[in-house]
Structure 1
Amino acid sequence: MTSVPQPSAVIAEISALGPFFSLRTHPTGAPAVGPWVTMSRPLIEARVTAVRQWLAAAGGQPLDAVEVRVAASVAHLGLAARLLSPALAAFVLHGRVLAFDLADVHWQPVLGGPVPLSLPTAAVCPGSPAPDDPRALLDGPLAELAMEMRPFSLSTPILRGNVASALNGASAMIATARPELARRGRTAVEFLLDSPALTGAAITSPNGAFRRRSCCLIYRAAPGRKGALCGDCVLGRPVADTVI
């Protein structure tokens, strides 16, 4: 009989994949204790403001030069990547879906890198009730995060594209850290990209090249709105493919 890995071993294996996968747990239902906070709307809004200030400073520009929705998209992409990366890893490594609500997430909203993340113990504990379909993640905390971003006038294509991009990035990082998992990770991503939540959000060519069908807008944060495009940006394709 195959032994079931203990939560600590699962967390250690996931976290070893890189900083976007680093994970801690807290007792289910426990309140956040500083420096940890919950992913509430006021703190997400504060995150957008902080990202906007950081982008303006990085470009040597006044705050008004950076559009609020640009900062919101960058903040959303970072948080989506942080939520998706360990969850994708758990599924690729152990076929386990991490079931949690956005309100159950504890985090530290620091700037300059992947935010520290903690999930409720029940989300990681083997044997606890959990869905067997990874699409539950897209319909749960990722859908909730998208709703929190609505006040910033982010379109559905941008939000969906950010999630697709975060998934692709997580898969690439898994493949770099554990090459033997590359095919399994890509298969999981392709399955999720075909789900109703993400259908049409990205294009994958026969050779495996990934390109989203919307833009995350970060190029607009640079002076003159002339920043470099991301490697998976749709703006490198014909205009007809662009959905912003």
Structure 2
Amino acid sequence: MTPPAPRTKDAGAVVAEITALGPFFAFTTHEDTAAGTASAPGDAGWQALDGPAVADRAEAVRAWLAAASGRRPDAVEARVGASVAHLGLAARLVSPALAAAVLHGVLLDHPLAAARWRPVLGGPVPLSLPAAALRGPVRPPGPLADAFAARLHDGPLAELAALHVPLGVSRHILLGNTASAVNGAAAMIAAARPELAAATAEFAAALLDREPLRAQRDRTAAGAFRRRSCCLIYRAAPDRRGALCGDCALHTPTDTRP
């Protein structure tokens, strides 16, 4: 991975470049005078990603999954809704952070309490992050991967996972969701910016080779990423034999599910 060049762009240009990668990378910024106290600018509806909001999101996703097959919300296990909700939120936090690291050599660091979101269903949720998170120093790839991995232990992704543990999702699954989000974000960056594919793959591999994600890293015979857990979404199907995600640990050579 080529060391990042010194930053010459202002924060608005950095946000625009990251947002251009796709809807999972899109975010706006707000000034955060004290973690957890500032509000995102613009129209109403921005919320903190706290325990009650996460619990509401899990129930909303559970109902949405059940409605897809015309069933009541309680037809889907609560932990399935919580895991799928966590995977979506983890992808929203990981994607811009990975892009900031690959494109600009910056650790997009902030407490979960400083993030704001709008709980819409049916796609990537709107996200606003504190502007201060963009003002960190430019770091070489190795130290940056170390710092990124360290914040997966105690940063916003770890805080988000901790909020889902009381909802019945194991830490093993939550770490798998985070690893899957890292791999997925890397694939989306490579698709949007092919010239960054090698650097992105190298940085994502460095993260997946470090704790806390190392235990979730596996490879298929063809060399593709495979997690060592399952997000449980297949259990939302009426017969609990729904489609498996492409990186799911439950895939077998004889599995005919897509």
Whether TM-score is above 0.5 comes out as yes
Q: Are 1:65 and 2:55 counterparts? A: no
Q: Are 1:135 and 2:149 counterparts? A: yes
CA distance in 1 between counterparts of 2:26 and 2:135 reads 16
CA distance in 1 between counterparts of 2:114 and 2:103 reads 23
- Alignment correspondent of 2:101: 91
Secondary structure at 1:211 match in 2: strand
Q: CA-atom RMSD, angstroms?
A: 2.0
* Distance of aligned partners of 1:7 and 1:206 in 2 relative to their CA distance in 1, 3 Å threshold: farther
CA distance in 1 between counterparts of 2:32 and 2:137 reads 15
Of stretches 66-75 and 197-206 in structure 1, the one that deviates more from structure 2 is: 197-206
Of stretches 85-94 and 58-67 in structure 1, the one that deviates more from structure 2 is: 58-67
CA distance in 2 between counterparts of 1:127 and 1:214 reads 35
Q: Are 1:145 and 2:160 counterparts? A: yes
Does structure 2 retain, via aligned residues, the 8 Å contact 1:4–1:126?
no
Secondary structure at 2:214 match in 1: coil
Of stretches 46-55 and 194-203 in structure 1, the one that deviates more from structure 2 is: 194-203
- Alignment correspondent of 1:197: 212
CA distance in 2 between counterparts of 1:176 and 1:217 reads 26
Deviation at 1:80, TM superposition (A): 0.3
Give the length in aligned residue pairs: 237
Counterpart code for 1:31 = A
1:69-218 equivalences under 5 Å are: 69-125=79-135, 132=144, 133-139=147-153, 140-205=155-220, 207-218=222-233
Does structure 2 retain, via aligned residues, the 8 Å contact 1:161–1:201?
yes
Structure 1 residue aligned with 2:8, among 4, 11, 15?
4
What is the CA deviation profile of residues 193-240 of structure 1, one whole-angstrom value per residue up to 9, with x for unaligned ones? 1221111202135754111110100000011112111111111138xx
CA distance in 2 between counterparts of 1:179 and 1:16 reads 14
Stretches of structure 2 that go unaligned for 5 or more consecutive residues are 254-258
CA distance in 2 between counterparts of 1:3 and 1:56 reads 47
* Distance of aligned partners of 1:215 and 1:3 in 2 relative to their CA distance in 1, 3 Å threshold: closer
* Distance of aligned partners of 1:56 and 1:180 in 2 relative to their CA distance in 1, 3 Å threshold: same
- Alignment correspondent of 1:20: 24
CA distance in 2 between counterparts of 1:227 and 1:194 reads 30
* Distance of aligned partners of 1:186 and 1:3 in 2 relative to their CA distance in 1, 3 Å threshold: closer
* Distance of aligned partners of 1:137 and 1:84 in 2 relative to their CA distance in 1, 3 Å threshold: farther
* Distance of aligned partners of 1:224 and 1:26 in 2 relative to their CA distance in 1, 3 Å threshold: same
Does structure 2 retain, via aligned residues, the 8 Å contact 1:98–1:137?
no
CA distance in 2 between counterparts of 1:185 and 1:103 reads 28
Does structure 2 retain, via aligned residues, the 8 Å contact 1:6–1:125?
no
* Distance of aligned partners of 1:2 and 1:187 in 2 relative to their CA distance in 1, 3 Å threshold: closer
CA distance in 2 between counterparts of 1:153 and 1:126 reads 35
- Alignment correspondent of 2:256: none
Does structure 2 retain, via aligned residues, the 8 Å contact 1:108–1:117?
yes
Structure 2 residue aligned with 1:31, among 32, 35, 38?
38
- Identity, in percent, stands at 56
